[in-house]
Chains A and B, each alone.
Chain A
Amino acid sequence: MACAHCGEDCPPAPLRWSDKDFCCAGCRTVYELLAANNLCSYYTLDERPGLKVREVELPGRFDYLDSEAVQAQLLTFRSQERARLTLPVPQMHCTSCIWLLEHLPRLNPGIVEARVQFLRKEISITYQPEETSLKAVVQLLASVGYEPQITLAELGAQPHRASRTLYYQLGLAAFAFGNVMLLALPDYFSFVEELQAGFGRFFGLLSLALALPVLLVSARSFFRSAWQGLRQRYINLDFPISLGLAALFGVSTVEVLTGRGKGYFDSFTGLVFFMLIGKWVQQRSYDALRFDRDFTSYFPVAVTRLTPAGEQSISVKELKVGHRIRVRHQEVVPADAVLRRGAGQIDYAFVSGESTPVARTSGELVYAGGRQLGEALELEVVREVSQGYLTQLWNNPAFAKQAAPRSLETYANRVGRGFVALTLLLAAGTLGYWAPRDQAVMWRAFTSVLVIACPCALSLATPFALGAALRVLGRHKLYLKNSAVVETLARADTIVFDKTGTLTDTSQAAVQYQGRALSEPEKQLVATAAAQSTHPLSQRLARELAAEPVPLQACREFPGQGIRATAAGGPTVRLGAAAFAAAGSELATPAPRAATPVAGGDADALAAPETHVYVSFDDLPAGYFTFGNVYRPALPAVLAQLGQRYRLAVLSGDTDAEQTRLRAIFGPAAQLLFRQSPADKLAYIAAERARGHTVVMVGDGLNDAGALRAADAGLALTDSLTNFSPACDAILDAAEFGQLANFLSFARACLRAVLVTFGLSFCYNGFGLALAVQGRFNPIVSAILMPISSLSVMLVATVLVGWAARRHHL
């Protein structure tokens, strides 16, 4: 049975409301809210548009939005009766999302207008500050499942601005191209010679006037990029392009001004126009796949500071050593701090990858980046944010991708460099050959070599082929950061897997029970209690037991600890962490490795291969459930395909208990490494790369962030696409894991397609050069050859990638 809101499987006893089934209270609340406001079209526009509401309501979570300083940063416009701001909402994914988000005014009359920019996943909201507040608006968004991602500029978040420059440049180039072509027409036909004789000079000057803004405005980005490359002693593809464009414009200007000819202004404007189209295509594919979130998104924007006067919401940047702060359930610890009051259950999933919460008691140090699960904590800051562990982690040079190392350089740039050398050689040769023979031909031949060598087709091949590849892969839920990742994937020879969450599927974990046998009513009670919680382990347990629900007298969930439920006229069950289940009794922890590891952190946590959930009845311990590893069903097939071509390796944080099973799946050649800390994983990847291998790391984006970042291409496997890791280069929906080998093979096919178009473009260039060195290259040849080569390269690149996609059934 599917939930009426989010479409996920419902537990055996779904919540019901007006004849609809819901998987959890969160989903039902959203449905109720929408139904009450007559907004149920949301469910008819697209199939299962809802997102499972996972976040627990936190009182005061958005309090910082009332602060003047925060509002001043977020609002783009503000007056007495109007306020306006744009918020990123990464969760939006379908037509229904657009519809609901644009109908926000019906949920809160204080909102005047809500406009969605779907491709950029942003919503612009105009509201009346007198009627409602920023906090209320954000709370409303969060309550319908679209919590905006708020990062403040002062934390280094880059506000995304729509770039209109390219459109201006493109429009100008198109205008000039069309008009210069008309003016050049008489030049090509002999029957209008008379016209040419009378007006040739006028046409030439007019073309020059039209082409000048193209040179100054439209072609500017090519020159700038080439210049930047030169300053870093690096020749990129834009350098030969700039050389060609400059030669083309210079020759034409001289010809027109001296009255010797009409120049190549039609070719010049046409080239710029076509290359700008290439840029536009590139930008559009990036826009659709934008995930430039940085780690600042993971930092809390504001913290609750405890002062003698009471609670105060301050910005993270204002946090000083010695401040007392309060961190509530599900909030991230913003800075390294000492725990002063409360029982800490810190989840370091984002930093170290251990999803099992670590218990911390009063007086112990809590590192930044941990997420508190459970009651509110009182902490004393011991180190400021900028020196915090998390910032250090991300600022670690080992994590940063080195600027343009050999393996990251795109083919286009490398080929472009060879091109420059060849061109200059040929041009010099032409000069040397013609100098003693014919001065006039010498100059014409020399400049035409520079002109025809402009590798515009090269610059078009990559955006069109790889842009098309990005879109094809995006349709199959593999999202790449940019087109360079396609090349890296295609060149990879080593694939390294993380184990937990990557090879194994935590939602399918095998559940085993150890302890005294449970009677049927007890089983039912446990199942019913577990179903009340949204915690993944509880959900898994409820699904596993699949028992008839029993009526509950009382039920209470203690976040981060467990659930306590009392059956009507029956026993009380406690379900959860060892300490919680055993409360009130002298239960000795049944196994040494059991319970959530305390103190020491990572090393101990790594030793626990399985997760336990303890059960006790009326404070008497009964036993515990063990959640074991289950490998993804597609794994053997994927590995069989990958093993033929790639070197495989597994890095696991767990013990080697699984070694025999993994060896059986991976085969004898694969490297299996166990008890790897995040730093070990990072070091392994770095060593492989140093040996000259191109490494693709496949992880879950959380416990291997460092390794993902260190690899040539880091591929994060995730069950919910909104869980982005800033470290990775690609995100793959876990449901599509079985296609991994196919995707890699497709990436190789795309790279081959690029190489074919390179070859094609060389044919044109070779033909043009052959004419050029003989001094027989003229405006007509240029006007025919240049557009044809550009257009055919665009066409061939797109068609080849489309064909590769069809062959790979993508």
Chain B
Amino acid sequence: MTIIFLLIGISLLVALTFLGAFLWAVRNGQYDDAYTPSVRMLFDEPEPPQ
């Protein structure tokens, strides 16, 4: 059953990767504004100048 140590180690590692990804995202400003991007993505491309 010592495999459990290894398995838990790996699962923790995976979880830590996700925690790291989350912290990276916060650091990167992904959570600074949770509203504007949802509007921004709906804007059309600029019309070609006439």
Binding site for B on A (CB under 8 A): 38, 41, 45, 95, 98-99, 102-103, 106, 115-120, 162, 164, 167-168, 171-172, 175, 178-179, 182-183, 195, 198-199, 202, 206
Provide a sorted-by-A list of 28 A–B residue pairs whose CB atoms are within 8 angstroms. Answer: A38-B49, A41-B44, A41-B47, A45-B43, A98-B39, A102-B40, A116-B36, A117-B32, A117-B36, A118-B35, A118-B36, A119-B33, A119-B35, A120-B33, A162-B29, A162-B32, A164-B32, A167-B31, A168-B26, A171-B22, A172-B19, A175-B15, A175-B18, A175-B19, A179-B15, A195-B4, A199-B1, A206-B12
B6 to chain A, nearest CB (A): 12
| Partner pick for A198 among B1, B12, B15, B40, CB 8 A cutoff | B1
A residues near B34, Cβ cutoff 8 Å? 119
A residues near B32, Cβ cutoff 8 Å? 117, 162, 164
User: B10-50 interface mask toward A, CB cutoff 8 Å, 1 = contact, 0 = none?
Assistant: 01100110110011001101011111100110011011011
B23 touches A199 (CB 8 A): no
Assembled-state Cα–Cα distance A179/B27 (Å)? 23
Q: Which residue of B lies closest to A38 (CB)?
A: B49
Q: A98-B39, A167-B26, A167-B31 are in contact. Are A38 and B15 (CB under 8 A)?
A: no
Q: A102-B40, A199-B4 are in contact. Are A171 and B49 (CB under 8 A)?
A: no
Assembled-state Cα–Cα distance A202/B11 (Å)? 15
A164 touches B26 (CB 8 A): yes
Q: Which residue of A lies closest to B9 (CB)?
A: A206
Q: Which residue of A lies closest to B32 (CB)?
A: A162
B residues near A164, Cβ cutoff 8 Å? 26-27, 31-32
A217 to chain B, nearest CB (A): 11
Name, among B8, B29, B44, the residue most crowded by chain A CB atoms within 10 Å (CB to CB): B8
B residues near A172, Cβ cutoff 8 Å? 19
A residues near B26, Cβ cutoff 8 Å? 164, 167-168, 171
A residues near B44, Cβ cutoff 8 Å? 41
A171 touches B1 (CB 8 A): no
Name, among B11, B16, B26, B44, the residue most crowded by chain A CB atoms within 10 Å (CB to CB): B26
B residues near A183, Cβ cutoff 8 Å? 8
A178 touches B15 (CB 8 A): yes
Assembled-state Cα–Cα distance A214/B26 (Å)? 18
Assembled-state Cα–Cα distance A162/B34 (Å)? 12
Q: Which residue of A lies closest to B12 (CB)?
A: A179
A residues near B19, Cβ cutoff 8 Å? 171-172, 175
Assembled-state Cα–Cα distance A166/B47 (Å)? 41
B49 to chain A, nearest CB (A): 6
Assembled-state Cα–Cα distance A206/B34 (Å)? 34
| Partner pick for B23 among A38, A41, A99, A168, CB 8 A cutoff | A168
A62 to chain B, nearest CB (A): 26
Number of interface residues of B (CB under 8 A): 29
A residues near B18, Cβ cutoff 8 Å? 175
A597 to chain B, nearest CB (A): 48
Assembled-state Cα–Cα distance A396/B23 (Å)? 45
A206 touches B31 (CB 8 A): no
B39 touches A202 (CB 8 A): no
Assembled-state Cα–Cα distance A182/B7 (Å)? 13
Assembled-state Cα–Cα distance A179/B31 (Å)? 23
A643 to chain B, nearest CB (A): 41
Assembled-state Cα–Cα distance A168/B22 (Å)? 8
Q: A162-B32, A167-B31 are in contact. Are A95 and B23 (CB under 8 A)?
A: no
B40 to chain A, nearest CB (A): 7
Assembled-state Cα–Cα distance A41/B26 (Å)? 33
Q: A95-B39, A98-B39, A168-B23 are in contact. Are A202 and B5 (CB under 8 A)?
A: yes
Assembled-state Cα–Cα distance A182/B4 (Å)? 13
A residues near B8, Cβ cutoff 8 Å? 183, 206
Assembled-state Cα–Cα distance A417/B46 (Å)? 59
A residues near B46, Cβ cutoff 8 Å? 38, 103, 106
B5 touches A38 (CB 8 A): no
A759 to chain B, nearest CB (A): 33
A residues near B22, Cβ cutoff 8 Å? 171, 175
Q: Which residue of A lies closest to B29 (CB)?
A: A162
Q: A119-B33, A120-B33, A175-B22 are in contact. List 6 more A-B contacts (CB 8 A).
A: A118-B33, A162-B32, A164-B31, A168-B23, A168-B26, A202-B5
Q: A175-B19, A178-B15, A179-B12 are in contact. Are A38 and B39 (CB under 8 A)?
A: no
B30 to chain A, nearest CB (A): 9
A126 to chain B, nearest CB (A): 15
Q: Which residue of A lies closest to B33 (CB)?
A: A117
| Partner pick for B47 among A38, A175, A182, A206, CB 8 A cutoff | A38
A residues near B36, Cβ cutoff 8 Å? 98, 115-119
B residues near A41, Cβ cutoff 8 Å? 44, 47
B residues near A102, Cβ cutoff 8 Å? 40, 43
A residues near B4, Cβ cutoff 8 Å? 195, 199
A residues near B23, Cβ cutoff 8 Å? 168, 171
B29 to chain A, nearest CB (A): 8
A residues near B49, Cβ cutoff 8 Å? 38
Assembled-state Cα–Cα distance A98/B39 (Å)? 8
B18 to chain A, nearest CB (A): 8
| Partner pick for B43 among A99, A115, A117, CB 8 A cutoff | A99
A554 to chain B, nearest CB (A): 38
B residues near A103, Cβ cutoff 8 Å? 46
A118 touches B39 (CB 8 A): yes
B46 to chain A, nearest CB (A): 7
B9 to chain A, nearest CB (A): 10
A residues near B29, Cβ cutoff 8 Å? 162
Q: Which residue of B lies closest to A97 (CB)?
A: B39
A114 to chain B, nearest CB (A): 11
A residues near B1, Cβ cutoff 8 Å? 195, 198-199
Q: Which residue of A lies closest to B4 (CB)?
A: A199
Assembled-state Cα–Cα distance A38/B46 (Å)? 9
B50 touches A98 (CB 8 A): no
B residues near A115, Cβ cutoff 8 Å? 36
Q: Which residue of A lies closest to B49 (CB)?
A: A38
B12 to chain A, nearest CB (A): 7
Q: Which residue of A lies closest to B8 (CB)?
A: A206
A residues near B5, Cβ cutoff 8 Å? 202
B residues near A38, Cβ cutoff 8 Å? 46-47, 49-50
Assembled-state Cα–Cα distance A41/B27 (Å)? 34
B residues near A120, Cβ cutoff 8 Å? 33
A residues near B47, Cβ cutoff 8 Å? 38, 41
Q: Which residue of A lies closest to B18 (CB)?
A: A175
B residues near A202, Cβ cutoff 8 Å? 5
